Structure 1
């Protein structure tokens, strides 16, 4: 008796150990495997029909490409999912005929019936098979990221012709799964399968919760672990970081600013020269939108191209000692940005050639007889020698600036 009990316990332990090894070595579920298992399981369990998926492929297609992928006389089942998303599941004539024969007669014939146009009765018979396959795919992928685009779809209606698909479905990119099927124990008959859903998922991601923390809609605790829609607030930090890092920011390197009267601006033409002081190279301002200063920089070269070297705190202080002023980014200008109503003189805007736009006393008016060039400058403005950027040479202490390094993770 003791020997028999010991052998029984050993057998139980051996089975548990083998099961644990099998579970640990099981490959993670993929959408392709989920579709394959769903088709085989539903056909076997509901129709007692052996079904093997001999080939399966995923492709990204536009709405215009979908009709070209459908086999003639296929049953087109329109499926509806989360957020009113629509897709299509197509059963070619051979697959539809096999399913109908199995549901009506319990077996399929030796010869393939002649192809015919599907009817509403065919759609009603195939609706349960379509819903069962979609439910199995959803259950298999419930804990995977793919559930956001694969879950929640069910049979809604059917189409007699593929031409209305272009009007019924949204003009977005679609995930299209096509499979080649073999029916029967020895593959006596073959068929096809097509499933297309919007590429961008609209369903909620799911997460597994422990039995002690999950309750159903009636407030009763579930004895088993379950999957519930994931709460985006749980991962708000990562989502916020991705959103911020994906945002664009436009920066401007300001070499020098010149204030001119409108009479001078109107004479600017291609080839006009604006004098820039030499010391402007050492006090370039890096600004964001709204002229908000972010950093100081100096102009140089890097690999034969013009480049900026951002100044550190010491360089910025030295520049301030030279008359640039201590660097201070200041506050955002948007909170106190003036509105059009606050800007003076807008109601008096008229002809830009009106004398009212000329410089004040001490300026210079523009006349058509004057030569082309930069006019209207105040006589006390001194810019020094004009700066030729094409002759810009590297600084004396280094041949060229090293590439700028930007550290992430701020």
Structure 2
């Protein structure tokens, strides 16, 4: 074999074992899917929120002026920051801020939307848990995405009161802008969640383990197979009742505990630790009572069909993985 032919053959062998970067549509699809899952996971602890995810979009390599224009006109705007000090932005529309405040004060999202108003410190405090959960969930969901070009983990920085100062807080450059349209079960209100992250070079990070060594795909496949066979205890809870101990002590066989028809639409599926995984409705199949779980939104139906992870939320799978090391 001549030197030129040997060199060509060697290059083909190296190229065959090199990870293939996803195309732009594949990367954008994986990113929007991860963002949608993160928003749904962040909403799970907020009983009564009934978050219904609509259209989710991603715009890559956006200039700073386009990022500012993408923020909701009213609502919460805040700076994000990673461990290296790189900054991004997050924006919650006034409708989402009001819904998070309402569900934590009255237990439900009101049918009538309030007129826009300035965001207070109390509003910010009542929305921080949702934002922090969304950021943490997106960091976890985005970890397997190869060739991602944003920081691995962004954290909430501080609220921005004067949006005219954003040009001073964030540098010019390329940003990835994620936007999610949000609705709420039972009401006609609409809201938006916007997140912008600076573009960084993290090529190949998802292909490596914690010490920078390539992860063994056979080990990952064996672990996923083992987790798929694990049995998890799940409880279906129709309603919860709080009574004084004296009244509970008087309960006897034949006593009736009333509940309203609304309880039939708020059945919860919980894990063994009492954490709410999904909300559903009480129904019937084959003459037996059944729990009807909500379907995935159409915007993520295609991505969900390609997702090999279990149908249960990732909180269950993550807990199992931590238990197995």
Output the TM-score relative to the length of structure 2.
Answer: 0.52
Name the structure 1 match of 2:175. 174
1:120 Cα deviation from its structure 2 partner: 2.2
Residues 200, 69 of structure 1: alpha-carbon distance in 2 compared, 3 angstrom cutoff: same
Question: Does 1:124 find its partner at 2:125?
Answer: yes
C-alpha separation between the residues in 2 aligned to 1:146 and 1:45? Answer: 31
Structure with a larger share of its residues in helix: 2
1:81 Cα deviation from its structure 2 partner: 1.2
Name the structure 1 match of 2:140. 139
1:127 Cα deviation from its structure 2 partner: 1.4
C-alpha separation between the residues in 1 aligned to 2:158 and 2:201? Answer: 21
Name the structure 2 match of 1:100. 101
Gap regions ≥5 residues in structure 2:
1-25, 215-325
C-alpha separation between the residues in 2 aligned to 1:44 and 1:200? Answer: 31
Residues 202, 153 of structure 1: alpha-carbon distance in 2 compared, 3 angstrom cutoff: farther
C-alpha separation between the residues in 2 aligned to 1:160 and 1:203? Answer: 35
Residues 117, 202 of structure 1: alpha-carbon distance in 2 compared, 3 angstrom cutoff: farther
1:52 Cα deviation from its structure 2 partner: 2.1
C-alpha separation between the residues in 2 aligned to 1:159 and 1:66? Answer: 14
1:102 counterpart SS class:
helix
1:77 Cα deviation from its structure 2 partner: 1.8
Name the structure 1 match of 2:295. none
Q: Give CA deviations for 1:295-323 in whole Å, capped at 9, x if unaligned.
A: xxxxxxxxxxxxxxxxxxxxxxxxxxxxx
C-alpha separation between the residues in 1 aligned to 2:211 and 2:204? Answer: 6
2:180 counterpart SS class:
strand
Q: Is the 8 A contact 1:204 1:230 kept in 2?
A: no
| Aligned ranges 1:11-410 → 2 under 5 Å | 30-60=30-60, 61-145=62-146, 149-184=150-185, 186=186, 188-201=188-201, 205-207=205-207, 228=210, 230=212
C-alpha separation between the residues in 2 aligned to 1:208 and 1:106? Answer: 44
1:155 counterpart SS class:
strand
C-alpha separation between the residues in 2 aligned to 1:42 and 1:126? Answer: 11
1:170 counterpart SS class:
coil
Q: Is the 8 A contact 1:204 1:229 kept in 2?
A: no
Q: Is the 8 A contact 1:83 1:202 kept in 2?
A: no
1:124 Cα deviation from its structure 2 partner: 2.0
The higher-RCO structure (CA 8 Å, 6+ apart) is: 2
Q: Is the 8 A contact 1:79 1:86 kept in 2?
A: yes
C-alpha separation between the residues in 2 aligned to 1:204 and 1:153? Answer: 19
Q: Is the 8 A contact 2:150 2:201 kept in 1?
A: yes
1:125 Cα deviation from its structure 2 partner: 1.8
1:83 counterpart SS class:
coil
Name the structure 2 match of 1:13. none
2:110 counterpart SS class:
coil
Residues 202, 187 of structure 1: alpha-carbon distance in 2 compared, 3 angstrom cutoff: farther
Q: Is the 8 A contact 2:77 2:161 kept in 1?
A: yes
> What is the RMSD computed on CA atoms of the aligned residues?
2.6
C-alpha separation between the residues in 2 aligned to 1:229 and 1:171? Answer: 33
1:208 Cα deviation from its structure 2 partner: 6.4
Output the TM-score relative to the length of structure 1.
Answer: 0.42
1:47 Cα deviation from its structure 2 partner: 3.9
Gap regions ≥5 residues in structure 1:
1-26, 210-227, 233-410
1:157 Cα deviation from its structure 2 partner: 0.6
C-alpha separation between the residues in 2 aligned to 1:47 and 1:110? Answer: 16
1:45 Cα deviation from its structure 2 partner: 2.8
C-alpha separation between the residues in 1 aligned to 2:133 and 2:99? Answer: 17
1:199 Cα deviation from its structure 2 partner: 2.2
C-alpha separation between the residues in 1 aligned to 2:211 and 2:51? Answer: 33
User: After the TM superposition, which of the residue ranges 43-52 and 92-101 deviates more from structure 2?
Assistant: 43-52
Q: How many residues align?
A: 187
1:149 counterpart SS class:
coil
C-alpha separation between the residues in 1 aligned to 2:36 and 2:162? Answer: 27
2:173 counterpart SS class:
coil
Q: Is the 8 A contact 2:55 2:181 kept in 1?
A: yes
1:87 counterpart SS class:
strand
